[in-house]
Structure formats: structure tokens, C-alpha cells
Chain A
Amino acid sequence: MQIYLPIAEISVDVFLILGMGAAVGFISGMFGVGGGFLMTPLLIFVGIPPAVAVATQAAQITASSTSGAISYWRQKALDERLALVLSTSSILGTIVGVWTFNALRRAGQLDLTINLSYVALMSFIGSFMLFEALRAMLRRRRGRAILKRKAGNHSWYQKLPLRVRFYKSQICVSAIPLVALGSFIGFAGAILGIGGGFILIPALIYLFRVKTSVVVGTSILQLLFSMMVTTILHSMTNNSVDIVLALLLIVGGVFGVQFGARVGQKLRGEQFRLLLALLVLAVGLRFGLELVLKPEEMFSVRIQDSIP
């Protein structure tokens, strides 16, 4: 069954889009990542213009993270204070990011910048997480207890002034590195069209030693705030949020996210980290191959009036 998308100005198969929404929603609910880094390439692959794909996805992630956040809220598996600090600072980053995005686009070669950033970011974070997860699993297999963190054992950036205590996350850290992290995620999110969950989750686990059980919920709540702002900013700057496409992705996505969240709760910490690491690495590898392998199509056509 085909449906015409009013902003994307093409017609697509309803069930294909619903299925894509469900598949990405499942992964998104399981890991607490927005899934933007998976959905953008899929949407572009079915013929949606890249600008519409990136912008519409922000609306879809808003919806899936709303139901995700409610589900974690009921299980009391989120730290709303931490999420609030992170999302307030990410909004600042988003505004600077959208401005940079438009400047880069005018300068040309934006695609290359996006591809290179994806490869660098994902292969770095992915391999770091993979290494950590494998080490933890190995320890468990040998029957040795996992090293418990000691109270007061803090890195230099956690000891900066303006220290805040987050009870649910069981941390007491300076607000400065948290605001920096939040702004960086907002900035990267606006440029790469992603929510930043795959940066935030490892950062909370490894850099701030946040209690693993609240990490995913907190990340989803942060996503909800920043994607809501991104949806509005994209509508205002390039009119490319397609409400019909968003609705289709949402309907597919909300179902996927519910099942994903249930599976996610059953995974052990290391298994969870291992799977997320492999997923991040796989996407990074895909972008890397695209840059290195000889492309099948050497030419690309761009119509200039599609640029706002």
C-alpha cells in the first residue's frame, strides 16, 4: 500500500516504513539509544531526501523516547535530575550545532564531514566499549569478583568545583564536566542527525560511573528533551519535518521500543555493553567501507533549489 508524503514529495510503501520503524524501535528500546544512526541511512536508502530523513527522525525519536521514558519511570530506573542537567546543556549545543551545520553545508563537502565523524566517533567508542565488555566477561568467567568502585575514588574532572550529588545515580560530581558532555552531545546530534545516546551511555558508565541500572532510562529522558527541541529547530530552519512520515515511523517504533525495553532489562551489564559495542562498531565499519571501497556510482546529481 503506497502513501504520498507531503513534505518529502515522494510516495512510499506504508508497510516498509512501519517495519523499519519497528526494527529500529526495538534496538532503540533495548539499548536506550535513539537509533538515529541506523534510521538515517535506511530512510535515505528508500529514497527520502537526506534533509527530510534527518529532521523527521527527530520527531520519531521524540515519540519513541516518550514511551521509553515512561516505561523506565515506572520501573524507577532513571535519574531525572541528571537528565535535566544534561538536556539543558544539550539544548545549548544543539543551537550551536544547527548553526554550524548550515555553515558547513554552504561550504560544501558536508557529506564527507559527516562520514568521517561517524567513522571516527563510532570506531573509537565501539572498540573502547568492546574492550571493556570483553574484559569484564573474562573476569566473570574466571570466577573473580568484579572490582567494585570505591567511594571517593574520583578522577580529576569529577573533583572540579560546583559539585552536585545525584542520589539515584549514586554519584557526586562537578557540574562542569556534565554540562560539557551535554553540550557536546547536542552539538554532535545536530550535525550528525543523531540523538547521541551511543555517546552518552558509555560516557555515563565509564567516565562518571553512574549506576548501570539508571543509565539507559536517564539517556532516554535526555533524548526526549533534546529531540523535542531539535524537531522544532529543524521545522523552523529548513521546513523538512514530514509529519506523515513521522507518524508512520512512530507507529512502528512505539511497538518495537516496548518489546526492546523488556529484552533490555533482562540482559546482564556486560552482555548489554558487548552487544551495544558490536552494534556501534558495525555501523562505524559500514561508514568506513563506504569511504574506502571504490564506489559503484562515481557521479552524484544535486539540484540546487533543494538547499534552503
Chain B
Amino acid sequence: MNRFYFFCLLGLGLVSPLRAEGLVTMLSTNSVEITSNYTGTEISVFGAVERDAQTIIRRTPYEIVVAVKGPSAPFIVRQKEHMGLIWVNANQQKFGLVPKFYAVISSGKFNSIVNSEQQNKLNLGLRAITSRSSLSAEEIQLGNESFQDALIRLRKEQSLFKQDDDSVIMQRANTFRANLSLPANAPLGRYEIMVYLFTGGTLLASESSGFYVRKIGFEADTALLSRSRPFVYGVLAAAMAIFAGWIASVIFRRN
């Protein structure tokens, strides 16, 4: 759509023909459907850098950064501390809205493609998305590791945060491909994919798209029933349990 408007404007002579690059991206799927045998999936992001005869010649190579952001929620990180004999959760820090899934995939080293100032401005990268902690005064920092580091480390261990350097494959001159592996524990909801084109530390273009992760069939019906008719669901679960227990005792009696 943006391209369409661009060409319209170009035709009207409102835009200088000496233009910067554009980005075109495409996803291998728009929707990840979860059924009983779901164990995670792979999504490919394809893209091309658009340039024509008028585009300025760059001395530095193109760099691509792909950021995948899942649905967000407030987070609390707690730290244990020795109190008398036992270890208890003593300090905690609240984080405002943090994505429940986040992956940043880049063609080179992420931190050398995007400097920290740009990361904060674009809200791009694991540091930036976890930096906006809540305003509450509960953030007492003790110990060697900050709460932010702990949050990033723990989410990485669950494969819910990722930073894959050197993982966007530049095919031929101006086309690229990035593979995103979505783990089995990836949260449900809308995912936003932002693709950024950088060169020599400058942002040239960006393009956004998205996909959904959702349950279908039996899994969706079950989850829906448990929320819309919790009493019916509970009675069904209890009835199923009693029935199964009775069946078992019948089977064993025959032996």
C-alpha cells in the first residue's frame, strides 16, 4: 500500500526521484494453528531491498534486523535472600509491558548494526524492550546481577527470548531470508514482525507485518468451554474422572 501511494506521489511529482531504498517482506504463514501434536514451528521471513537506477550507491553493505514480538504483559522479577535460616523472596522489580516472546535476528552482530541509542529509540533488542520498568519505588538493587539481566537470562533459558546474530541469510545481492523457530511454549496471540534495513549505522527503511498463534479444533473448544462455562466444564471433568475410575475397576475385576 505504501508503495502504491509512493508511486502515485512520484507520478504527481511530489516526491524527489532520488530516493532511498524500500523494503518488501513476506512471511511463510499468517497463522500458526495449534492442534494436539503441536511442538513448535518454523516461520520464514523473506524480503527484498528495493532499489532502482535512481537509488544512491552505498559504500557500506546492507544489514537486516528482524524483530519478532509476541503479546505483552506486566512482569515481576523476584530475588531470593537469606533471612535467618531460610531463603525467601525479598526484593522484587516490576516491569511494565514486556513481550512474552521476543526474538531479534540480524544479518551481522546486532549490537554493531544498531547502536544502543537507536535500540532505545526504536524499542529494538532485548535490552530496550526490558528497560522500561514500572515507576514503583520497589526497585532495590542488591547482589551482583541486575533484575533486567535476570529477566533476560531466565526468558532466554525458556527459549522465549532470543538474539540470533549472523542469522539473516543474504541471498544474492538484495534478497534475504530469516528463519524464526517458535517454541512449543510460545504464548498465544498476535505477533508483530518488524524488519529494519540498516547501512553503516543508519536506518534506511522498515516494514511491519504479523501473524497469529491460535488454538483450533478440540484444543480451542476445550479452552473456550473452560472459560465460558466453568461450572459445566468442572462437572464434566469430575464426571469423566469418576467414569474413568469406574472403568478401571471393571477392567481389573475381570482379571
Complex contact B252–A109 (CB within 8 A): no
Q: When chains A and B are docked, how far (Å) is the Cα of A11 from the Cα of B87?
A: 32
> What is the minimal beta-carbon distance from A9 to any residue of chain B, in angstroms?
7
Interface positions, chain A 205-229, Cβ under 8 Å from B, are 224, 228
Which A residues lie within 8 Å of B85 (CB)?
A: 291-292
Which of B78, B230, B245 has a CB less than 8 Å from the CB of A300? B78
Complex contact B187–A9 (CB within 8 A): yes
Complex contact B226–A299 (CB within 8 A): no
Complex contact B89–A11 (CB within 8 A): no
Judge whether A268 is part of the interface by a CB distance below 8 angstroms: no
Interface positions, chain A 59-90, Cβ under 8 Å from B, are 59-60, 62-68, 70-71, 74
Which B residues lie within 8 Å of A60 (CB)?
A: 241
Complex contact A65–B73 (CB within 8 A): no
Q: When chains A and B are docked, how far (Å) is the Cα of A235 from the Cα of B226?
A: 7
Judge whether B208 is part of the interface by a CB distance below 8 angstroms: no
> What is the minimal beta-carbon distance from B89 to any residue of chain A, in angstroms?
7
> Which of A60, A234, A250 has the most chain B CB atoms inside 10 A of its CB?
A250
Q: When chains A and B are docked, how far (Å) is the Cα of A127 from the Cα of B148?
A: 44
Q: Which of A135-143, A169-177, A236-244 is near enough to bind chain B?
A: A236-244
Query: Given the known A-B contacts A66-B241, A251-B244, are A299 and B234 also in contact in the complex, defined by CB atoms under 8 Å?
Result: no
Complex contact B248–A231 (CB within 8 A): no
Interface positions, chain B 61-104, Cβ under 8 Å from A, are 73-80, 82, 85-89, 100
In the complex, the chain B residue whose C-beta lies closest to that of A232 is B234
Which of A3, A300, A305 has a CB less than 8 Å from the CB of B36? A3
**B159-192 contact mask (Cβ, 8 Å, vs A): 1 or 0:** 0000000000000000000000000110110000
Complex contact A11–B39 (CB within 8 A): yes
Which B residues lie within 8 Å of A246 (CB)?
A: 237, 240-241
In the complex, the chain B residue whose C-beta lies closest to that of A231 is B238
> What is the minimal beta-carbon distance from A189 to any residue of chain B, in angstroms?
15
Which B residues lie within 8 Å of A70 (CB)?
A: 245-246, 249
Which of B37, B87, B247 has a CB less than 8 Å from the CB of A2? B37
> What is the minimal beta-carbon distance from A37 to any residue of chain B, in angstroms?
19
Which of A64, A239, A303 has a CB less than 8 Å from the CB of B227? A239
Judge whether B6 is part of the interface by a CB distance below 8 angstroms: no
> What is the minimal beta-carbon distance from B232 to any residue of chain A, in angstroms?
9
Which A residues lie within 8 Å of B154 (CB)?
A: 297, 299-301
Which A residues lie within 8 Å of B248 (CB)?
A: 63, 67, 254-255, 257-258
Q: When chains A and B are docked, how far (Å) is the Cα of A231 from the Cα of B242?
A: 11
> What is the minimal beta-carbon distance from A262 to any residue of chain B, in angstroms?
10
Which of B76, B231, B238 has a CB less than 8 Å from the CB of A301? B76
In the complex, the chain B residue whose C-beta lies closest to that of A291 is B86
Which A residues lie within 8 Å of B253 (CB)?
A: 74
Judge whether B7 is part of the interface by a CB distance below 8 angstroms: no
Complex contact A299–B79 (CB within 8 A): yes
> Which of A3, A62, A292 has the most chain B CB atoms inside 10 A of its CB?
A62
> What is the minimal beta-carbon distance from B109 to any residue of chain A, in angstroms?
27
Judge whether B155 is part of the interface by a CB distance below 8 angstroms: yes
Complex contact B37–A111 (CB within 8 A): no
**A258-300 contact mask (Cβ, 8 Å, vs B): 1 or 0:** 1000000000000000000000000000000001111101111
> What is the minimal beta-carbon distance from A160 to any residue of chain B, in angstroms?
34
Which B residues lie within 8 Å of A62 (CB)?
A: 238, 241-242, 245
> What is the minimal beta-carbon distance from A88 to any residue of chain B, in angstroms?
17
Which A residues lie within 8 Å of B80 (CB)?
A: 295, 298-300
Query: Given the known A-B contacts A11-B184, A239-B230, are A294 and B37 also in contact in the complex, defined by CB atoms under 8 Å?
Result: no
Query: Given the known A-B contacts A66-B249, A299-B77, A304-B73, are A11 and B38 also in contact in the complex, defined by CB atoms under 8 Å?
Result: yes
Which of A10, A64, A66, A109 has a CB less than 8 Å from the CB of B185? A10
Judge whether B222 is part of the interface by a CB distance below 8 angstroms: yes
Q: When chains A and B are docked, how far (Å) is the Cα of A141 from the Cα of B244?
A: 44
Which A residues lie within 8 Å of B187 (CB)?
A: 9
Complex contact A232–B249 (CB within 8 A): no
Which of B38, B73, B249 has a CB less than 8 Å from the CB of A305? B73
In the complex, the chain A residue whose C-beta lies closest to that of B146 is A299
Which of B36, B75, B143, B242 has a CB less than 8 Å from the CB of A66? B242
Which A residues lie within 8 Å of B226 (CB)?
A: 7, 235, 239, 241, 243
Which B residues lie within 8 Å of A144 (CB)?
A: none
List 17 A–B pairs whose Cβ atoms lie within 8 Å, in order of A's numbering: A4-B39, A6-B222, A7-B223, A11-B40, A47-B185, A63-B245, A71-B252, A74-B253, A232-B235, A244-B222, A247-B244, A295-B80, A298-B79, A299-B153, A301-B77, A304-B75, A304-B76
Which residues of A approach B to under 8 Å, CB–CB?
A: 2-4, 6-7, 9-11, 47, 59-60, 62-68, 70-71, 74, 109, 111-112, 224, 228, 231-237, 239, 241, 243-244, 246-247, 250-251, 254-255, 257-258, 291-295, 297-305
Apart from A6-B219, A236-B234, A254-B248, 13 more pairs, CB < 8 Å: A3-B36, A4-B36, A6-B222, A6-B223, A63-B241, A66-B249, A232-B234, A235-B230, A243-B226, A246-B237, A254-B244, A254-B245, A297-B154
A-B pairs with the 9 shortest C-beta distances?
A66-B245, A235-B234, A254-B248, A232-B234, A299-B150, A63-B241, A62-B241, A63-B245, A6-B219
